[in-house]
Chain A
Amino acid sequence: MNFLDYAPAPESQAILNLQSDYGLFIDGEFVAGRGTPFSTINPATEKQIAMIAHANAADVDAAVAAARRAYDGVWSRLSGSDRGKYLFRIARLVQERARELAVAESLDNGKPIKESRDVDVPLVAAWFFYYAGWADKLDHAGAGPNPSSLGVAAQVIPWNFPLLMLAWKIAPALAAGNTVVLKPAETTSLTALLFAEILQQADLPAGVVNIITGAGDTGSLLVNHPDVNKVAFTGSTNVGRAIARSVAGTDKKLTLELGGKAANIVFDDAPIDQAIEGIVNGIFFNQGQVCCAGSRLLVQESIHDDVVDRLKQRLSTLRLGDPLDKNTDIGAINSAAQLERIRTLSDIGEQEGAERWTADCAIPENGFWFAPTIFTNVSTSHRIARDEIFGPVLSVLSFRTPAEAIAKANNTPYGLSAGIWSDKGSRILAVADKLRAGVIWANTFNRFDPASPFGGYKESGYGREGGRHGLAAYLKPANSRPVLTAAAPAPAIETASVVEPAGAPAASPTANATAPAPKPAAGKKAAK
């Protein structure tokens, strides 16, 4: 028998108790959306998981109004310690329902269960735990004594780490005293809705967190809503740009976490086996659908062939397949659209003369899959060395000196992250100094921790999430001066029409809908 084939070890779905239809979570209750519902599918099988509500302008208004009421009436008046206690409750409930959340995440997103189970969900709990502790310590947050919250935060998140991005957004916002309207990505709403159930279990006051589902139009309505004070967006650079335009002239505070094309620099004195693991983790973690993925491998020429050789050997042991199988290393691509983008850019790579190598693995019949792929002979002018592919595709470039490595690493409009592999500390620190990127990993890659700030330079966005810095996005100093705003309404902005790698909403000028929000049903919360 072939031991390495490992008999199937699927994680049981029995733990899930999903509904066939999901509404919007507004003012502490699930309510029907007024747009046309859409289906969310399992990208590994293309089968429908559930129907998801589509929030229209009136729903967005209702959600923002609920968040405003909760802000004015409850949340901004609560002590930091009580806010913290709610966050601790949420953290504990996430820990208790961890397996269920992990299974739902892998089902809806396509990522391997070992990642959702060992990375995503534990980090979600950690994020709430960490920011829970901050809620009553804001005097130490760096904004001076008695800092104040901003108000209602509009948060739009991508599909690559659905629940984790939710935690990155909601935890610091609530700790700082803001209320939230969050829109998950169209293809991955499921865990956000399970999270809404957790909020009910935690007895979080109604309206403090509202979760509205929908596509790009919903997101656009949300970030352009006149009654939000803060916009936080994670997704593609193009949409981020559109949002930055749309908030111009308003007093909305904005943080953006956008695309990347990270350089992973391997020097000839690198701890080679760990570097290989780091390269693999850097670009094949979550099928490469990571904004900080180490998609450009820069290898010192003297070890180039050896590294590529070892890399290919290592990739041959990766197991692609059922995301719910505990032994799966590479899961499904999140959507047909994303798969198409990866295919297109890879084909361009070949056309431009790079040498393509693909791991030999069987591709399941249904679902969206892309086998781990390496391009060698890539030069800096190739599109696969410049565009964010957002898939399991690695472009290998070489360099001769540290100076050349730095120049090549920085030669991109992005600046989210970078990796350095070397046994020499002084070199690591000097190279880190010179890299124009927000997160530098040395002899490791794709590490995240709630205590550590994350965010980009240049077109990778601004603002930081995580750590003490993450609070700055949701706080202002006591007695801070009001922001000057334009007298006229914000100018209309053009619709972003490109296919967005991060599946983010296309901002549209149809914002500022003024339809009055219907009064949400008063009284009790939805079924607990």
Chain B
Amino acid sequence: MTRLAVPKTYKLYIGGKFPRSESGRVYEIRSHSGEFLANAAQASRKDARDAVVVARGSLGGWAGATPYNRGQVLYRIAELLEGRRAQFVDEIMQSEGVTTAVASAQVDEAIDRWVWYAGWADKYVQVAGNANPVSGPFFNISVPEPTGIVAIVAPQSGGSLLGIVSAIAPALVAGNTVVVVANQSAPLSAISLSEVLATSDVPGGVVNILTGSPAEIAPWLASHADVNAIDLLGAGALDWVDLQIAAADTLKRVLPPENGEDAATPSLERILAFTETKTVWHTKALI
């Protein structure tokens, strides 16, 4: 007699905890070949609202952590991901119907991407900031600072793990907190990533992961007055212009959708997209 498996219940990731959707809804996750895999929580606008509240609450601590510390925390995600490699490979194969080699390559790239972004945490200010040679007896320096809460629509196609990692890692580097809507049809990677994050050193509330319908949730995030920026990376199939228009009400910083294999290529620009440059003047005088 074969052993009966104990399937896992998949939930949202908000404030470092794993709640069900307040709406009580779930939706079916099916494998690439159409078999039932599990039920995922289907987040509502109220779940998105709750996520924004905890993202705001954790912003001070995360943005205020030393860059060195943020770098260590992000690097540790890579370490933990490496330890769970097999699980991710397995889930990617099921969800995306790819070979072991392709799935492995995706996981490797996702791990390396965390490492790459982790290294930026204590460097991007050096590269993007500068002393300004103003005319006059002034010390003048410009430094980038995190924008605040970044709402993200994760890529809805392509590699499901690499997609969400490419979307959230750059926003975290500078000290932003994020609310991300996962890949709707292949959310397993995002859900497992939330388990990695929960056991990592990332403080609760810094990353909040919602599974469900981007079309339903994104408009609420785009119009939410306490969201400071929105990355529409994976919103290409939505009415993303409307989302941009909604975001304009509170002048959110917006990154447009990207499509194709090289979507969200790692870059310094993606980090700087969610920063504000602050320039400080200070007098210099002996007398």
Contact of A468 (CB < 8 Å), options: B115, B127, B284: B127
A429 to chain B, nearest CB (A): 4
Interface string of B65-86 (1 = CB under 8 A from A): 0011001100100000000000
Contact A429 B119 (CB under 8 A): no
Contact B120 A133 (CB under 8 A): yes
**Residues in chain B near residue A136, CB distance under 8 A:** 116, 119
B50 interfacial by beta-carbon distance below 8 Å: no
Contact A85 B115 (CB under 8 A): yes
B135 interfacial by beta-carbon distance below 8 Å: no
A281 interfacial by beta-carbon distance below 8 Å: no
Contact of A137 (CB < 8 Å), options: B71, B112, B119, B283: B119
Q: Which of A124-132, A325-333, A391-399, A517-525 contacts B (4 or more CB under 8 A)?
A: A124-132
Closest residue of chain B to A431, judged by CB? B286
B260 to chain A, nearest CB (A): 23
The answer for the CA separation of A450 and B71 in the assembled complex, in Å, is: 13
Contact B75 A88 (CB under 8 A): yes
**Residues in chain B near residue A137, CB distance under 8 A:** 116, 119-120, 123
Q: Given A430-B284, A430-B285, A451–B115 Cβ distance below 8 Å?
A: no
B268 to chain A, nearest CB (A): 7
The answer for the CA separation of A137 and B118 in the assembled complex, in Å, is: 12
Contact B284 A429 (CB under 8 A): yes
**Residues in chain B near residue A431, CB distance under 8 A:** 286
Residues from 195 to 240 in A contacting B, C-beta threshold 8 Å: none
Contact B119 A132 (CB under 8 A): yes
A442 to chain B, nearest CB (A): 11
Residues from 416 to 446 in A contacting B, C-beta threshold 8 Å: 425-427, 429-431, 433-434
Q: Given A429-B284, A430-B286, A431-B286, A134–B123 Cβ distance below 8 Å?
A: yes
A402 interfacial by beta-carbon distance below 8 Å: yes
A250 interfacial by beta-carbon distance below 8 Å: no
A258 to chain B, nearest CB (A): 25
**Residues in chain A near residue B123, CB distance under 8 A:** 130, 133-134, 137, 140, 451, 468
B126 interfacial by beta-carbon distance below 8 Å: yes
Contact B119 A467 (CB under 8 A): no
Count residues of chain B with CB under 8 A from any CB of chain A: 24
Contact of B282 (CB < 8 Å), options: A129, A429, A468: A429
A264 to chain B, nearest CB (A): 18
Contact B286 A427 (CB under 8 A): yes
The answer for the CA separation of A426 and B268 in the assembled complex, in Å, is: 34
The answer for the CA separation of A140 and B127 in the assembled complex, in Å, is: 7
**Residues in chain A near residue B126, CB distance under 8 A:** 451, 467-468
The answer for the CA separation of A427 and B268 in the assembled complex, in Å, is: 36
Q: Given A140-B268, A468-B126, A84–B283 Cβ distance below 8 Å?
A: no
**Residues in chain B near residue A81, CB distance under 8 A:** 112, 115-116
Q: How many A-B residue pairs have CB under 8 A?
A: 70
Contact A430 B68 (CB under 8 A): no
Contact A426 B283 (CB under 8 A): yes
A407 interfacial by beta-carbon distance below 8 Å: no
Q: Given A126-B68, A133-B123, A88–B115 Cβ distance below 8 Å?
A: yes
Contact B68 A129 (CB under 8 A): yes
**Residues in chain B near residue A427, CB distance under 8 A:** 285-286
The binding surface of chain B is classed by DSSP as helix
Contact B115 A84 (CB under 8 A): yes
Residues from 96 to 138 in B contacting A, C-beta threshold 8 Å: 112, 115-116, 118-123, 126-127, 137
Count residues of chain A with CB under 8 A from any CB of chain B: 29
**Residues in chain A near residue B122, CB distance under 8 A:** 130, 133, 450-451
Contact B118 A133 (CB under 8 A): yes
**Residues in chain B near residue A426, CB distance under 8 A:** 282-285
Q: Given A88-B75, A137-B119, A140-B127, A425–B112 Cβ distance below 8 Å?
A: no
Contact of B283 (CB < 8 Å), options: A130, A402, A429, A468: A429
A403 interfacial by beta-carbon distance below 8 Å: yes
The answer for the CA separation of A85 and B113 in the assembled complex, in Å, is: 12
Contact of B139 (CB < 8 Å), options: A129, A429, A434, A451: A429
The answer for the CA separation of A115 and B286 in the assembled complex, in Å, is: 36
B176 to chain A, nearest CB (A): 19
Closest residue of chain A to B122, judged by CB? A451
Contact B284 A129 (CB under 8 A): no
The answer for the CA separation of A204 and B115 in the assembled complex, in Å, is: 18
**Residues in chain A near residue B127, CB distance under 8 A:** 140, 468
Contact B284 A84 (CB under 8 A): no
Closest residue of chain A to B118, judged by CB? A133
The answer for the CA separation of A402 and B286 in the assembled complex, in Å, is: 7
The answer for the CA separation of A429 and B125 in the assembled complex, in Å, is: 21
Q: Given A427-B285, A429-B139, A130–B120 Cβ distance below 8 Å?
A: no
**Residues in chain B near residue A433, CB distance under 8 A:** 284
Given A88-B75, A88-B115, A429-B284, 17 other A-B residues pairs in contact with their CB atoms under 8 A: A81-B116, A84-B119, A133-B71, A133-B118, A134-B123, A135-B119, A136-B116, A137-B119, A137-B120, A140-B268, A426-B283, A426-B284, A426-B285, A429-B282, A430-B285, A450-B68, A467-B126
A-B contact pairs, 20 of them (CB 8 A): A81-B112, A81-B115, A84-B115, A85-B115, A129-B68, A133-B118, A133-B119, A137-B123, A426-B284, A427-B285, A429-B139, A429-B284, A430-B137, A430-B284, A430-B285, A431-B286, A449-B68, A451-B68, A451-B122, A451-B123
B interface list, Cβ under 8 A from A? 67-68, 71-72, 75, 112, 115-116, 118-123, 126-127, 137, 139, 268, 282-286
